[in-house]
Amino acid sequence: MKIHNFGAGPCILPQEVFEKAAAAVLNLNNSGLSILEISHRSAAFDEIINNAQNLVKELLGVPEGYKVLFLQGGASLQFSMVPMNYLPQDGKAAYLDTGVWSSKGIKEATLFGEVLTIASSKDKNYSYIPKGFDLPKDVSYFHITTNNTIYGTEIFEDYDVKVPLIADMSSDIFSRKIDVSKYDLIYAGAQKNIGPAGATVVIVKESFLQNKARVVPTMLDYQVHAKNDSLFNTPPVFPIYVSMLNLEWLKEQGGIDAIEKINIKKAELLYQEIERNSLFVGNVEKDSRSRMNITFSAINEDIEAKFLAICKAKGIHGIKGHRLSGGFRASLYNALPLSSVEYLVEAMQDFEKENK
């Protein structure tokens, strides 16, 4: 039975990426060595990481004056690494609170300086993106989380602000066009649209790199990693290699412009069915709805349990909502084909007919 993987992460990747990665585990480019055993100081890995960095720049249109880093620790380490480097002890940072991950970032930042939560959607269970907030001019940076995997909201605007803008784009990077020039630092855990878990992409403006607020441990210093081109210590070789393969796949699909059109079509198809179907209801305000993580609920617990059972029987994987939000969550990352969304919609339609 074909599995339709709607899991939120680690998530689906293209089949051809799996096949190429599997072959490289046995023999990388006919070298007689596995990707798991090559030296990170070798010419072979230099080619891999340089290609991966260049693909990030090409696909996102990264302008001159930015560094692309591949680090470790996931976005969760970035929650503390950002303020450790850029929030002075006597300074202030502004955060937009739009869900669990932004809240975790706020918690870590308070260890290093004053944090201003300038707006929050917690009052309505994070079902919308706050608007019309005032951003102080005397903050060291403004931090946002562009997509919220648990509650299913997304920020599509590249905010035009007068202070350094930092964004956690872990779950929507490479899914849509962004203006990188508006950001001083972008970070993203790999395990959504980049590659497997274990690598973190950081895109940082070189001029912003110089704003280090304090002396920090070497491994947590962006300047050290930038100076050493992500090779200060042994990097996550295999995740970077698979990320490179996935970015090559994305380029072959036509890049960000092409994949965004497909992502819009997938999301619209599922949202339309949620609105039409009498057994389900959406969880998010329309103007804040994510394309990557679509959250919805059944009209009662009995219907929810029945539909989860149907999904399991039909090979629809990862549809159960996060424990904090309940209900359902369908993650429509780049590699999920439109046919899988059509399959889910058909299952919802059949389920409605059988349970009216």
Could you give the domains of the chain?
15-252 (3.40.640.10), 255-354 (3.90.1150.10)
pLDDT at residue number 250: 98
pLDDT at residue number 198: 97
Pairing state of beta strands 147-148 and 153-154?
antiparallel
Q: Which two tokens stand for residue 172?
A: 């929507």
pLDDT at residue number 2: 87
Q: Which two tokens stand for residue 91?
A: 């300074």
Q: What are the φ and ψ backbone dihedral angles of 264, each rounded to 5 degrees?
A: -65, -45
Give the start-end residues of each E strand in 66-220. 66-71, 92-97, 114-120, 142-145, 147-148, 153-154, 165-168, 185-189, 200-205
Q: Is the dihedral of CA 301, 347, 171, 129 positive or negative?
A: negative
d(CA 267, CA 2): 21
In the chain (356 residues long), the average pLDDT of successive 10-residue segments reads 93 96 97 97 97 98 98 97 97 97 98 97 97 96 98 98 98 98 98 97 97 96 97 97 98 98 98 98 97 98 97 97 93 98 98 93
Angle at 157 between CA 203 and CA 212, to 5 degrees: 35
Q: Which two tokens stand for residue 241?
A: 């290699």
- Residues taking part in catalysis: 101, 168, 192
The overall pTM is greater than 0.95:
yes
pLDDT at residue number 324: 86
Among candidates 151, 180, 176, which has minimal Cα distance to 166? 180
Among candidates 301, 302, 292, which has minimal Cα distance to 335? 292
